[in-house]
Structures are given as C-alpha cells and as structure tokens.
C-alpha cells in the first residue's frame, strides 16, 4: 500500500509542477501581451500626431492615455515617452519628467520591433516611435514589476501543493479501504481451489471423495497407489526368479 501511495504522490507532484510552470508561463505571456498592446496604442497615436505635424511634446492625449492605463493595471510601475537623445517627454512618474532615461533605453531604439530589458526585479518593454521618414522620433517604455508575478506564482504554488496533499491523502485512505478487500477478492478462487484440493485429499484418504476436485484428487491417489502396487509386485517377481535360478 505504501508503494501505491508513494507512486500516486510522485505522479501528482509531477503533474502539479508541470501545471504550475504552464500557468506561470501563461500568466507572463498575458501580462507582456497586455503591455505590448498598450505600447502599440501609444505608438500609433504618437505617429499619427507626428504625421499631422505635431511635435512629440505637444500631444496631451497621449499623456492622458498613459495615466489612465497606469491606474488600471497594478503591474505597471511607469510609462515613459522620451526623445531619441534620452530625455523624458511624458511619464507617469512625475519626478522623471524632463530627466534623462537609462542609456539602455536609447540604445534599444535602434533595435527593430519591440525590445525588452530586465534589471532590479523590473521588466521594461519598449518600442520606438517613427516619423514619416522611418527614423526614430522618440521611444516608449513600460516598466513592469515582478512583485505581482511573484505573488501570483506563490499563490498558485500554494494552491497546487494543497490540492496535491488533499488528493494524496484521499488516495491513501481509498487504498487503505480497498486494497485488502480487492486482494481477498482476487485470491479467493485460488484459496477455494486449495481448500477443495485439501478437502478432497482428506476425503479420499477416508474413502469419501466429493466434488469435482475431490473426485480428481481421489482418482490421482488411486492411480498412484495402483502404480506403486504394480511396481512392488514386479520387484517381488524378479526376486522369485532370482531365487529359483
């Protein structure tokens, strides 16, 4: 029974581990997908305004959009729009307005498509804003915190561990109540056959065989006794011949 319970526990732990990893990956993908979608909205609005001749620092609708999205998502620490030379134009962090952005951000503007940076427990996703000539007119950066992700992963791991413990305990109790009756059920035909053979042999010794197995045992015993008697008679005849010679 211990082997069965251990096997069940190991299987459940393996399944729980795979489920935790898959759920964590899905959560990360959803979180990054939401940030990527937001970057696309801000970039589209900025590039549209640039095509109308508005400079990057005269787009109040973008600033309002950034503030609204920051409030709606607790995983977002900050949203920044900055010039290619590295100075912040708009930021949900008021203390960062007009301040230099990290050098990695401006360097990443020359990468095609979206870029991603990780540092100090934070994940930064960004993209460049292009003008009509296809050159970088600015950049967008969304800083995400790892704290909500860690909290989510911990809660998920705790739930899976609790579920694994409950299922393992239930499996152990079920095994304790079912294995012995099942073993008796499976071995009952063999026990009945052994008992019938024993009873048949005992009855045969008393000349009272009964049942199919009892009759078979009696028949085997009779044949064995007849063979033994024939062998004894043959030995007796051989000795008589030797004595006569």
The CA distances from residue 71 to 68, 75, 245, in Å, are 5, 10, 125
pLDDT at 25: 52
Average pLDDT, the chain: 75
**pTM of the predicted protein model:** 0.51
Sketch out the chain's domains with CATH numbers.
Answer: 2-154 (3.30.450.20)
Contact 36, 114 (CB under 8 A): yes
Average pLDDT over residues 116-122: 81
Per residue in 123-173, pLDDT tens? Answer: 899 999 998 888 889 999 999 887 655 554 555 555 656 666 676 666 666
Yes or no: say if 116 and 106 are a contact pair by the CB < 8 Å rule: no
């Amino acid at each position: 029974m211990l082997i069965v319970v251990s096997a069940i526990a190991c299987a459940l732990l393996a399944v729980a581990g795979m489920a935790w990893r898959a759920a964590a990956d899905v959560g990360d993908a959803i979180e990054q997908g939401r940030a990527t979608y937001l970057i696309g909205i801000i970039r589209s609005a900025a590039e549209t305004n640039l095509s109308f001749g508005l400079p990057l620092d005269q787009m109040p609708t973008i600033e309002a959009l950034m503030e609204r999205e920051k409030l709606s998502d607790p995983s977002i620490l900050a949203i920044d729009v900055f010039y290619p030379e590295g100075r912040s134009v708009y930021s949900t962090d008021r203390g960062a307005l007009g301040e230099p952005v990290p050098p990695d951000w401006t360097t990443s503007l020359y990468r095609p498509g979206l870029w991603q940076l990780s540092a100090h427990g934070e994940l930064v996703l960004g993209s460049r804003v292009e003008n009509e000539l296809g050159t970088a007119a600015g950049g967008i950066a969304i800083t995400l915190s790892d704290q909500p992700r860690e909290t989510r992963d911990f809660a998920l791991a705790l739930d899976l561990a609790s579920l694994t413990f409950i299922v393992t305990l239930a499996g152990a109790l079920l095994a304790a109540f079912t294995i012995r009756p099942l073993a008796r059920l499976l071995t009952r035909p063999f026990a009945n056959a052994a008992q019938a053979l024993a009873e048949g042999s005992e009855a045969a010794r008393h000349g009272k065989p009964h049942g199919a197995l009892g009759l078979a045992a009696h028949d085997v015993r009779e044949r064995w006794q007849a063979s033994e008697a024939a062998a004894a008679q043959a030995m007796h005849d051989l000795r008589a011949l030797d004595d006569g010679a």
